Structure 1
């Protein structure tokens, strides 16, 4: 996992049930988390049981978890559990909450039971609702069941999505191009509702950074040139190659200066008048480094990239594409293409830095077909005060050669997808990763305050996956 998430582990018990059995199962849960190499903060030092069951313990656990800056809370119900302490603890944090308890044992010969864990799960769920705490439920399975590991790992991905979303700051280089009314956003609303902030800078500030790097002959430029040459077949001049590298370093510096984890840029045409290249190859390098930058100042678009990459814990890099045109032969086929903003790591064959772009008569673009596979697509967007996340899957298919960066995808029903984009609130820009992360994006929406929106009727399948009833929505659907 390339991105780390820290869980606060709070196993709980209730006094009228066996404390020894609860301690035993809490320790077994710890062993399983250790085996899975989960990063968690424990509470064994809080009391002699290492369990949550009273106010004093809850307050100590709160302080410990806050000091550790946990990204998610794992409430493990090891017997019936103390539902109000679970809710009081969860209320102290603005992080995703995972609720689970191990299956109860077979009753003793006299009919007695030690834990009644499942019964307590119902109580905890109700009280979490009373406290208005959104939570994720991992069904009542044994530690050894595959559903347990899958559920915990998916929850960690959900935590990463939420952490990324709530800590996003975007470098905005220049205003949106005049003609692109579709990419306008409500900056104040993004901050007020989601804690997403923009760091706008004018193009001249970026140009000044580029000129300063040139004067200093910064060593990072030569290192970036070496990387570009190792990744792509270059058909451009040494001067253009150097400017691509310089722009990449300048954008990196500006994102660090303003504390940003992503960026957007007015990619044409004022930039070309100043530095003579398009920014796409520079952006592709940044994409591979986990700091996506999108064109045409598409702020909602780069948020989509951050979300979908976070759903893979950063293991997969997102392509950012225009939904362009229908396949000439495949009824449900569609072209995803872009000016050049696909990460180099997503290329099926060696990327090319062509002499000029196929639309603009400037160097600085990238050309290749993306890798085959099953893709998850998503688009965060909104208007009129309502925000949603478009979600779904599609499989690559063969299609004609295209210029720039591209791939052909086959949808279950292209008309449904197309209609969703037209009716909105979405536009023709979309993020995609070569991984099935629809369920974790769907689950994350409850913590983000946005509405999940499927372009295929798969919500029941997604819920079945999250319950552990099926292993993959792609295979089952």
Structure 2
């Protein structure tokens, strides 16, 4: 995953000057020791400034962690803590920050050994609010050394996503296809998130593709593709064109990412792409996504933004699928009803098929094969629709989610955890049967009611707790973060008498 930030957390202990410094020093050392024992020394940095008690100390600590190359910050309250300097540190640090605090160790040392960080965390939160400074405060932010070490480790996926967004450029090619109002993408909200965007014409892409004809690197890429596909290499004749296209995109990224470190792409494959390029780009999209460079279909800008966030969280390939079709009743009765899967049993109202033509990474697909795009081939010569990757998506945990801008540039998001169940789809494309508890109600009262488009991003893990915190950190109001309500908990628009 070369397109994902590497996080180095600077851990800075703070202390109120009327408390013993030794509380913060010794407790910080204990947290560092616990972290290194559990997770190793990589990715953390212990600020040697003994204690931050004042603004001068804050400046010294800030300079030190910046010189050390830290791109994330943990402010650790070893005792009550100084709400002015500790929150100034978070404000002036150019990266994501978290706060956690020390619990008391023993009943035998509650006079000079009592730190009151449980109280200090309240003041820290209040001061952060006064400064309009965002910080991640865990669900249970106060604990012993082992607990705080766990909290810092759980901060890493959150920090990766925030740092990634601060340094992301989305590169798009072409306007969305006709009849795809669902991919409407007001870009104002991207700038609110500090995300850059470069919009290009499909003609620019075609011109660059043509200039890559005969590129001496094509043969090596073709060999790599053939090795990846193995027995699934059903149409080897299309690989040189796909390799030429892959090189076109990777060269474009290097030439156009500018001052940004990370890139995601969004392109389209129809209605003229196939006839002008002579193939469909699905397999290339899947290969880039497997390297941590998400490529969404149909110029879905917020789709690729969502995918990139998921890539940062999991450090693994994600995908973009249509929330596509229902599962036939006979398939449900024969293969699903009454069976306990990885996460749960599912009623016929809690399953659906997620599908796209062939953009899912080969590592996430069973028995993948190179194929033609069946939907397009209904209206076009088959030979110009080659290049898609087919196979059932591998079963396992899944989180479906999306960050979206409304037409009036308000950001909202949804998250639902579930799984891909191990039942053959008997269909085509990159496709899987998803089980999500209470899906039919979520579908009606979130996805439809709040006008979400049909594309959902998919992480192949249960990562909702990280995504929830990232969305809050990004400034999205919690009332605009939707999820699948459990049975008996009614959505505001749900008819309680239905």
TM bin, normalised by shorter chain, reads 0.7 to 0.9
Q: How does 1:140-155 map onto structure 2 within 5 Å?
A: 140-145=142-147, 148-155=148-155
- What is the deviation of 1:343? 1.0
Distance 1:296 1:150 in 2: 40
1:258 partnered with 2:256:
yes
Given that 1:5 and 1:156 are in contact with CA atoms closer than 8 Å, whether structure 2 keeps it comes out as: yes
- What is the deviation of 1:298? 0.5
Distance 2:14 2:278 in 1: 63
Distance 1:107 1:150 in 2: 24
Given that 2:20 and 2:112 are in contact with CA atoms closer than 8 Å, whether structure 1 keeps it comes out as: no
Q: How does 1:232-251 map onto structure 2 within 5 Å?
A: 232=229, 233-238=232-237, 240-251=238-249
Distance 1:189 1:143 in 2: 39
Give the count of matched residue pairs. Answer: 446
Taking a change above 3 Å as real, the CA distance of residues 109 and 306 of structure 1, as seen in their structure-2 partners, is closer
5+ long unaligned stretches in structure 2 = 333-347, 490-498
Question: Match for residue 457 of structure 1?
Answer: 485
Question: Match for residue 445 of structure 1?
Answer: 471
The more displaced of 131-140 and 403-412 is 131-140
1:195 partnered with 2:194:
yes
Question: Match for residue 282 of structure 2?
Answer: 280
Given that 2:392 and 2:425 are in contact with CA atoms closer than 8 Å, whether structure 1 keeps it comes out as: no
Which residue, out of 392, 402, 406, partners 1:369? 392
Taking a change above 3 Å as real, the CA distance of residues 353 and 21 of structure 1, as seen in their structure-2 partners, is same
Question: Match for residue 225 of structure 1?
Answer: 222
SS at match of 1:10: strand
Q: How does 1:6-405 map onto structure 2 within 5 Å?
A: 6-35=8-37, 36=39, 37-44=41-48, 46=49, 50-68=50-68, 70-108=70-108, 111-138=111-138, 139-145=141-147, 148-191=148-191, 193-215=192-214, 217-219=215-217, 221-232=218-229, 233-238=232-237, 240-259=238-257, 261-312=263-314, 314=315, 316-329=316-329, 330=332, 331=348, 332-347=350-365, 349-360=366-377, 361=382, 362-383=385-406, 384-397=408-421, 398-405=423-430
Taking a change above 3 Å as real, the CA distance of residues 72 and 354 of structure 1, as seen in their structure-2 partners, is same
Distance 2:372 2:327 in 1: 27
Distance 1:223 1:110 in 2: 68
- What is the deviation of 1:431? 0.7
Distance 1:298 1:136 in 2: 29
Question: Match for residue 472 of structure 1?
Answer: none
1:206-243 deviation per Cα after TM superposition (whole angstroms, max 9, x unaligned): 2222222223x322x222211221222122142x1110
Distance 1:394 1:207 in 2: 40
Given that 2:265 and 2:293 are in contact with CA atoms closer than 8 Å, whether structure 1 keeps it comes out as: yes
TM-score, normalised with respect to structure 2:
0.84
5+ long unaligned stretches in structure 1 = 462-477
Given that 1:231 and 1:351 are in contact with CA atoms closer than 8 Å, whether structure 2 keeps it comes out as: no
Given that 1:378 and 1:392 are in contact with CA atoms closer than 8 Å, whether structure 2 keeps it comes out as: yes
Question: Match for residue 475 of structure 1?
Answer: none
Taking a change above 3 Å as real, the CA distance of residues 90 and 286 of structure 1, as seen in their structure-2 partners, is same
SS at match of 2:145: coil
- What is the deviation of 1:280? 0.5
TM-score, normalised with respect to structure 1:
0.88
